[in-house]
């Protein structure tokens, strides 16, 4: 996984009024969980966007008052209408500790069905995995070359040593048959049936 560093400041006033004012000032409230402790912090909204509005998943080095804490994003809350970031929970990492994170998926290859006129339709962008973050890859490669028209690849089809915790039955991507191609195929089938009937 990639690593990025961000500055943060301690947050002492946890009242609703203070939190609202904090957001108006362009800050995002957050909590850094580690062991049995929970430290309230805040970071710039622009900084929060760099770690959340991206396909990448990072080990985040959070610096507060000169102390650096390696962590990962455990959960983020967004406004239901505007998608504005409202709050972030970080989980501080302990050496050798396995945690659940999400990794982006990278499609490779051109599906056979696409060559025949189909369209590749991604259904998942990330997968949940459990492992030691420093030992995890930056992304999970998904080879879609073998997909024919109407076929899909599921999480359980992946050949990987990663401990995937997402549902194995979930579809990652599929090759959709466009309406025009489906109509053409149906017409061809009908023509073949007509020819066979005529020959009889």
Domain stops at, among 64, 94, 124: 94
155, 120 Cβ separation under 8 angstroms: no
What pTM did the predictor assign? Answer: 0.77
Pair (188, 172) in one structural domain = yes
Pair (83, 44) in one structural domain = yes
Pair (51, 83) in one structural domain = yes
pLDDT of residue 82: 93
Pair (106, 37) in one structural domain = no
Q: Which CATH number characterizes residue 70's domain? A: 2.40.240.10
pLDDT of residue 194: 47
pLDDT of residue 180: 76
Pair (108, 164) in one structural domain = yes
Pair (113, 63) in one structural domain = no
Pair (149, 88) in one structural domain = no
**Greatest CA separation found in the chain?**
88
Pair (78, 142) in one structural domain = no
Q: What percent of the chain has pLDDT over 90?
A: 80
Q: What's the whole-number mean pLDDT along residues 73-89?
A: 95
* Total of domains in the chain: 2
Pair (47, 118) in one structural domain = no
Pair (63, 88) in one structural domain = yes
Domain that holds residue 37: 2-94
Note the pLDDT tens digit of each residue in 2-50: 899 999 999 999 999 999 999 999 999 999 998 788 999 999 999 999 9
Domain stops at, among 73, 94, 115: 94
136 vs 2, 98, 133, 158, 162, CA distance in Å?
A: 9, 10, 5, 16, 8
Q: Which CATH number characterizes residue 186's domain? A: 2.170.120.20
Pair (38, 55) in one structural domain = yes
Note the pLDDT tens digit of each residue in 127-150: 999 999 989 999 999 999 999 999
Pair (28, 79) in one structural domain = yes
Domain stops at, among 94, 122, 156: 94
Half-sphere exposure of 41 (CA within 13 A, CB side): 26
């Amino acid at each position: 996984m990639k690593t990025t560093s961000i500055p943060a400041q301690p947050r002492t006033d946890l009242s609703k009024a203070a939190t609202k004012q904090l957001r108006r000032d362009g800050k995002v409230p957050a909590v850094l969980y580690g062991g049995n402790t929970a430290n309230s912090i805040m970071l710039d909204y622009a900084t929060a966007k760099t770690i959340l509005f991206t396909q990448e998943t990072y080990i985040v080095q959070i610096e507060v008052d000169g102390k650096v804490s390696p962590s990962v994003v455990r959960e983020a809350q967004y406004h239901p209408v505007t998608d504005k970031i409202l709050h972030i929970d970080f989980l501080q990492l302990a050496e050798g500790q396995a945690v659940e994170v999400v990794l982006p998926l990278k499609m490779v290859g051109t599906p056979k069905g696409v060559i025949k006129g189909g369209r590749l339709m991604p259904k998942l962008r990330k997968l949940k995995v459990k492992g030691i973050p420093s030992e995890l890859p930056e992304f999970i490669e998904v080879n879609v070359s073998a997909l024919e028209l109407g076929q899909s690849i599921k999480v359980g089809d992946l050949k990987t040593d990663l401990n995937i915790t997402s549902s194995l039955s979930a579809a990652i991507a599929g090759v959709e048959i466009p309406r025009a191609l489906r109509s053409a195929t149906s017409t061809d089938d009908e023509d073949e049936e007509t020819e066979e009937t005529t020959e009889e």
